[in-house]
Amino acid sequence: MLSGIQPTSGSFHLGNYLGAVRQWVDLQTANDAFYMVVDLHAITVPQDPVTLRQNTRISAAQLLGAGLDPEHCTLFVQSHVPEHAQLAWVMNCLTGFGEASRMTQFKDKSSRYGAESTTVGLFTYPILQIADILLYQADAVPVGEDQRQHVEITRDIAERFNSRYTPTFTIPKPYILKETAKIMDLQDPGIKMSKSASSPKGLVSLLDEPKVSAKKFKSAVTDTDTVVSYDEERKPGVSNLLRIHSALSGQSVEQLVAHFEGKMYGALKTELAELFTEWVAPFQERTSTFLDDPAELDRVLAIGAEKARAVASETLATVYDRIGFLPAA
Ligand code: TYM
């Protein structure tokens, strides 16, 4: 297993947790799992140095707070393992310009920043992600739906390398849970929950005061009907709330629809706000324990980086050899 998360805005949001991080925790014991905070990816858009460093620690602390256990998985910071940038160069040279141009996340982001502020790094972002995944010979990549295309291009490039040289890379599969693959914005259920949404009211940040998030659940956009039922097309807001409830409570959507029969949307929203608060309060407490001891946090990350490098350097050495680079004497 291999996956990564950007440290861009400090606090993770509920989509990050339900779409990805929760699966990372569930998969860490039965698998050889590598999880990282992708600071190299973060600088594809401007970052303030002090904030970036701080957000990298905050991100690692949240991953531990969510339940990652360094005894069971390898948790590290991407820039601590230089092989990511090194393999990315090789992957740059295997990826077609047209192929990279078809990445929808790049198209979305570059249109938001405008041509002048769009960096070449943002364009080659998916290629660094290819390197991330292939360095660890990952079988599966637990992510949300928005990352599917990046895992798919990884498969294409791995196959290209394997056939051009000799079989070297495992072909990875995306690991995407249907129910939580795309958590929607609470104010605009037509778009995914994301830091870049226009209104912060639709975004549930895990490090916000639980009261603030409870209020966001209570004022979530639903529809003019009042019946709690699941219909993604016609009732996207209610369906999103039902999926979030189901993920947090462990009850199926069918059970929830039966449970809310004869009740109004308000009941669903209030229950969801309570459920979220019950989960997030201990998460915040655990996260702040890790943040209160940055020396210990850095030590955990240093051990993770060492474990990651042991694997990554071996893959890179094989790749360099297969490509025909002269070994350094
Ligand atoms: P990032 O930092 O944008 O998001 C981290 C994870 O959260 C998932 N996610 C969501 N899932 C469900 N609903 C949502 N609304 C939602 N929003 C975000 C994302 O799908 C992701 O799994 N490019 C990656 C980071 C990365 C990576 C990798 C991932 C770098 N290298 C290698 C996997 C493997 C990204 O920007 O994720």
Q: Which pLDDT belongs to residue 111?
A: 85
∠ CA 203-204-205, rounded to 5°: 105
Q: Which residue from 3, 12, 16, 34 has its CB within 8 A of the most atoms of ligand 1, so it is best to mutate?
A: 16
Model confidence band, residue 163 (pLDDT cutoffs 50, 70, 90):
very high
Q: Which pLDDT belongs to residue 113?
A: 82
Count of beta carbons in the 10 Å neighbourhood of residue 46: 10
- 8 marked as binding residue: yes
Q: Which pLDDT belongs to residue 196?
A: 84
Asked if 207 contacts 284 with a C-beta cutoff of 8 angstroms, the reply is: yes
Q: Which pLDDT belongs to residue 112?
A: 84
> Given the CA of residue 38, which atom of ligand 1 is nearest to it?
30
Q: Is there a catalytic annotation at residue 216?
A: no
Mean pLDDT of 274-289: 98
Q: How many percent of the chain have pLDDT more than 70?
A: 100
Rounded CA-CA distance 87/79 in Å is: 13
- 4 marked as binding residue: no
The residue nearest atom 34 of ligand 1, judged by CA position, is: 3
pLDDT tens digits along 52-99? 999 999 999 999 999 999 999 999 999 999 999 999 999 999 999 999
Asked if pLDDT for residue 180 goes beyond 90, the answer is yes
Q: How close is the Cα of 15 to the center of ligand 1, in Å?
A: 9
Rounded CA-CA distance 137/180 in Å is: 25
> Given the CA of residue 132, which atom of ligand 1 is nearest to it?
32
Candidates 67, 68, 41; CA nearest to 55 is: 41
Candidates 154, 139, 221; CA nearest to 186 is: 221
Candidates 284, 302, 303; CA nearest to 292 is: 284
- Which runs of E-coded beta strand occur in 43-82? 73-77
Q: How close is the Cα of 245 to the center of ligand 1, in Å?
A: 21
Rounded CA-CA distance 311/308 in Å is: 5
- Choose, from 173, 195, 218, 307, the residue flagged as catalytic: 195
- Choose, from 173, 178, 182, 192, the residue flagged as catalytic: 192
Q: How close is the Cα of 318 to the center of ligand 1, in Å?
A: 28
The residue nearest atom 16 of ligand 1, judged by CA position, is: 15
- 146 marked as binding residue: yes
Q: Which pLDDT belongs to residue 197?
A: 80
Rounded CA-CA distance 301/171 in Å is: 27
pTM strictly above 0.90: yes
Asked if pLDDT for residue 22 goes beyond 90, the answer is yes
Sheet with 2-5, side-by-side order of all strands:
2-5, 33-37, 73-77
pLDDT tens digits along 104-148? 988 888 888 888 889 999 999 999 999 999 999 999 999 999 999
For the chain, what is the mean pLDDT?
A: 96
Q: Which pLDDT belongs to residue 61?
A: 98
pLDDT tens digits along 207-243? 999 999 999 999 999 988 889 999 999 999 999 999 9
Q: Which pLDDT belongs to residue 101?
A: 94
Contacting residues for 177 by C-beta, under 8 A, at least 6 apart:
19, 23
Report the SS3 class of residue 280. helix
Asked if pLDDT for residue 201 goes beyond 80, the answer is yes
Asked if pLDDT for residue 198 goes beyond 80, the answer is no
- Choose, from 109, 173, 201, 218, the residue flagged as catalytic: 109
Q: Which residue from 135, 143, 152 has its CB within 8 A of the most atoms of ligand 1, so it is best to mutate?
A: 143
Q: Which residue has the tokens 């249907």?
A: 178
